[in-house]
Amino acid sequence: MKPHRFHASLLTLFFFLFFSCEKTPLSQEEKTSTQNRNDSDQIPVLAPPEIEPEPDLSKDTQKESPPEPKKVELESLRVVVPEKESQPEEPRFSNELLAVVKNWTKIPKSVFPARPVLASTSVDLVAKSSSGQVIATSNASAGSELQVLGMKGNTLIVANANNSKLRGEVDIDLTDFKQLLAYRFELNQKKKAERLLNQQDQINKKTPVKASIPISKRSSPKVEIPDPLDFGHGRFCICKDCRDKRLANTGSLKTGFGLEP
């Protein structure tokens, strides 16, 4: 056989085998396998989910610091302690007072006129002329202020607080005259003690004026006593609060009629 014929025969055999293989039907298993392979090629490949990084808490801590505690003002913590209320202090019928008034039988004339005195009963008052003729009458109701002009036994000679010509008489025990004298006597004693204490302080700070004259014998101004007023402890209370309130209420000391021991 000639060489060109041999090559032509091989080429013809090749084409025959190629076309015969292409047209050979596939079995059912081969079809299924081929279909599955094609389907798998068509399924999209999903990318793994992205994982968000954890927040950096250190940065947030630096940005947002915890609020500072509120400063508590010292004024809000200050405890207000209420001032201790003074207790009523009634004047006493001391032995010194009873000695001065001779147990209420002989009262010094320096006490009169004394006011204001309150009577627990009404008192008839009359005004007389120089000849003794009644020219006016009046009645002081219980609780009215009176001034005491003198004393006769256990009877007080009293007068209208604004008109001394209208006069009457009332038993001493039906008035607060004794309490008034005790009030003036006690305040007089307190004033003297305070004055002597102030003088002694001045002597301790400065050179004594006259060392040969005792303090007790030095001349001193007359002690002035404010009229009694009731500030909740009674008219004759002599506690420090009542004494200060009387002075603040009057603006100045009124000339009283204190008892000199």
Q: Answer whether residue 154 is part of any domain.
A: yes
CATH number for the domain spanning 138: value is 2.30.30
| Containing structural domain, residue 115 | 110-176
Q: Answer whether residue 160 is part of any domain.
A: yes
Token pair of 33, please? 């396998």
Least confident of 159-163, 200-204, 239-243: 200-204
How many residues appear in the chain? 261
Closest CA to 258 of 229, 216, 228: 228
Q: Answer whether residue 172 is part of any domain.
A: yes
Tell me how far apart the alpha carbons of residues 260 and 111 are, in angstroms, rounded to a whole number: 9
Token pair of 244, please? 């200060």
Maximum average pLDDT range among 18-22, 29-33, 190-194, 257-261 = 190-194
**Residue 87 · residue 239 · CB < 8 Å:** yes
Tell me how far apart the alpha carbons of residues 166 and 240 are, in angstroms, rounded to a whole number: 36
How many domains are there within the chain? 1
Q: Answer whether residue 7 is part of any domain.
A: no
- In DSSP terms, 155 is beta-bridged to 152, 171
Residue 172 is classified by DSSP as G
Asked if the model's pLDDT at residue 247 lies above 70, the reply is: yes
pLDDT digits (tens, 9 = 90+) for 99-133: 999 999 999 999 999 988 999 999 999 999 989 89
Predicted TM-score of the model (pTM): 0.56
Q: Answer whether residue 96 is part of any domain.
A: no
SS3 content of the chain, % helix, strand, coil (to 5): 40, 15, 45
Tell me how far apart the alpha carbons of residues 72 and 157 are, in angstroms, rounded to a whole number: 69
Asked if the model's pLDDT at residue 137 lies above 90, the reply is: yes
Q: Answer whether residue 171 is part of any domain.
A: yes
Q: What percent of the chain lies above the pLDDT cut of 70?
A: 56
Q: What pLDDT, on a 0 to 100 scale, did the predictor assign at position 10?
A: 66
